[in-house]
Amino acid sequence: MVYSDLYHQGKEKLLSAGIDEADLEARLLLEYVCGTTRSDLLAHGDMAVSAAQEKRYEDLIGRRMTRIPLQHLTGVQEFMGLSFSVNAHVLIPRQDTEILVEEVLRNLHDGMRILDMCTGSGCILISLLHYSNDCEGVGADISEEALAVARENAEKLLDAGHSREDAEKLLDAGHSRENAEKLPDAGEDGSETGGICFVCSDLFAGISGKFDVIVSNPPYIRKDVIGTLMPEVREYEPLQALDGGEDGLVFYRKMIEESRKYLYGGGMLFFEIGYDQGSEVSRLMEQAGFLEIQVVKDYAGLDRVVYGTRSFD
């Protein structure tokens, strides 16, 4: 079969399964299987596709028709111009979360120390370190499987091999080494690399030391809403990364209350939020003594980020 015919066949199957962006996803899966680019569909649509490629493509189309996310089939998702590895153990990075990263970057200065709570794939922390200078970061998550993905992404995107000395500095004296994911040895040239490590921690339980910035995209979906989400989300993404409790605010309350102990005076706390949570999260931060609280909208004009500054008292 020729390339363009196979694409059209895949698109029609995805349309019949109710996939919203069937044309885009059919093309992306074909490019993934054949190692081609977007221009090949127009410029080389008549090229032959091997029987093995055709079979693999048809298999992936069939799996996508069952609503397995595209990113779980290809294993990657673009975020902040970087290609992150993803699987069923982490939330798929979304464009809305880029708003959170951009707001942190506007307030980030050279040499700052960052804590990314509920790090998942590590997309927030890794992006911040990639686009800043001489900053250090700790990514915390309760899931060992998620931390394995985050570490893979750090090694790929930050060339983040670490010396043991670097790891000790990041983890601080108060950390239990059993809580910290083991870091790779330094490269053969012995050079130091960007400071990043990952800690298995139930929120702040395994964290010590202080930070200039704490950032989080926590679980914030109300429990009674989860069943109404798209099947790609409710059936294939990790529930513990979605479920924010009865009102969706459980993790905000816990983190806002505890974060003051881990922020320097003048340090900043950043959250991604649901579209209807801006006023409630702002109120919680105000009650905890945070100052200069701001709510930032996403590209659709919906509340997406809340941040504030820790007082010096």
- Give per-residue pLDDT as tens, 211-265: 999 999 999 999 999 999 999 999 999 999 999 999 999 999 999 999 999 999 9
What fold is seen in the domain 79-309? Rossmann fold (3.40.50)
Q: Residues 283-291: what's their mean pLDDT?
A: 97
What pLDDT is attached to residue 162? Answer: 43
Report strand pairing: 82-85 vs 76-79: antiparallel
At residue 164 the predicted structure's pLDDT band, cuts being 50, 70 and 90, is: very low
Rounded CA-CA distance 119/241 in Å is: 10
Q: Residues 23-39: what's their mean pLDDT?
A: 96
Average pLDDT for the chain: 90
> What residues are paired with 196 via a beta bridge?
137
Domain assignments of the chain as residue spans, ordered by start: 3-66, 79-309
> What residues are paired with 305 via a beta bridge?
272, 296
Cβ contact 27:38 at 8 Å:
yes
**Rounded to 5 degrees, what are φ and ψ at 60?**
-65, -40
**Rounded to 5 degrees, what are φ and ψ at 173?**
-60, -30
For 30, the token pair is 């074909």
CA nearest to 40, candidates 3, 78, 1, 2: 3
Q: What is the pLDDT of residues 50-72, one digit of tens each?
A: 999 999 999 999 999 999 999 99
Q: Residues 18-38: what's their mean pLDDT?
A: 96
Q: Residues 78-97: what's their mean pLDDT?
A: 97
pTM: 0.87
What pLDDT is attached to residue 25? Answer: 97
Q: What is the pLDDT of residues 147-162, one digit of tens each?
A: 999 999 999 999 754 4
Residue 52 CB contacts under 8 Å (≥ 6 apart), including other chains:
none
Q: Residues 111-123: what's their mean pLDDT?
A: 97
What pLDDT is attached to residue 160? Answer: 55
**Rounded to 5 degrees, what are φ and ψ at 250?**
-55, -50
Cβ contact 242:226 at 8 Å:
yes
